[in-house]
C-alpha cells in the first residue's frame, strides 16, 4: 500500500474527529451559559470579570476559525499541494491563501457593517459567505 492510498483511507476519520471536537466544544459552551428566568442568556459573559468579553457569539467566532483551519489541514492531508492557481489577482494562490483572503475580507465586511448599519450581523455574515465563495472561485 502506497502512502497516498494509506492517506486517502484515513482522512474521513480525521474529518470526523475535527467535526466531533467542534461539536463537543460548542455543546460545552452552551452548557456553560448562565440561565436567567428559565432561558439561557446567550450574551452573558462566560468568564465573569475576565479581561475580555467572552460571550457565546465571541467564543463561537474563534471556535469556527479554528474549525476552518483544522478542516483546511485535513483537506491538505487528503489532497496535498494546495491546488495553486492564478486567478483574477494575476498571481498564484493556494487554498490556504484563499482562506486567509476570505477571512480577512469577511472581518472587514463585518466591521464595515457594524459601523455603517449597526447590529443585525446576520446579513453581514451572508455577505461574507458570498464573498468567501467568490474568493475561492475567482482568486
Alpha-carbon distances of 13 from 19, 20, 64, 85, 87, rounded to whole Å:
10, 10, 20, 28, 32
Asked if residue 88 and residue 34 are part of one domain, the reply reads: no
* Residue 58: domain span: 1-80
Please say which residue of 40, 62, 80 terminates a domain: 80
Residues 76-105 have pLDDT tens digits of 888 888 778 999 989 899 998 999 999 999
Asked if residue 90 and residue 56 are part of one domain, the reply reads: no
Please say which residue of 60, 80, 100 terminates a domain: 80
pTM above 0.75, yes or no: yes
* pLDDT value of residue 119: 81
Asked if residue 93 and residue 69 are part of one domain, the reply reads: no
Predicted confidence band at 5 (pLDDT cuts at 50, 70, 90)? low
Asked if residue 24 and residue 62 are part of one domain, the reply reads: yes
Asked if residue 39 and residue 21 are part of one domain, the reply reads: yes
Exposure string over 17-30, b if 16+ CB within 10 A, otherwise e: ebeeebeeebeebe
Predicted confidence band at 10 (pLDDT cuts at 50, 70, 90)? confident
Asked if residue 24 and residue 46 are part of one domain, the reply reads: yes
Domains in the chain, number: 2
Amino acid at each position: 500500500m502506497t502512502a497516498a492510498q494509506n492517506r486517502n483511507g484515513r482522512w474521513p476519520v480525521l474529518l470526523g474527529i475535527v467535526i466531533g471536537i467542534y461539536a463537543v466544544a460548542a455543546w460545552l459552551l452552551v452548557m456553560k451559559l448562565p440561565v436567567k428566568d428559565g432561558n439561557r442568556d446567550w450574551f452573558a459573559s462566560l468568564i465573569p470579570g475576565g479581561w475580555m468579553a467572552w460571550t457565546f457569539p465571541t467564543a463561537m467566532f474563534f471556535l469556527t476559525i479554528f474549525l476552518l483551519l483544522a478542516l483546511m489541514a485535513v483537506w491538505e492531508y487528503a489532497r496535498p499541494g494546495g491546488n495553486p492557481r492564478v486567478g483574477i489577482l494575476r498571481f498564484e494562490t493556494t487554498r490556504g491563501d484563499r482562506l486567509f483572503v476570505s477571512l480577512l475580507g469577511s472581518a472587514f465586511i463585518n466591521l464595515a457593517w457594524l459601523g455603517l448599519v449597526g447590529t443585525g450581523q446576520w446579513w453581514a455574515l451572508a455577505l461574507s459567505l458570498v464573498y468567501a465563495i467568490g474568493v475561492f472561485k475567482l482568486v
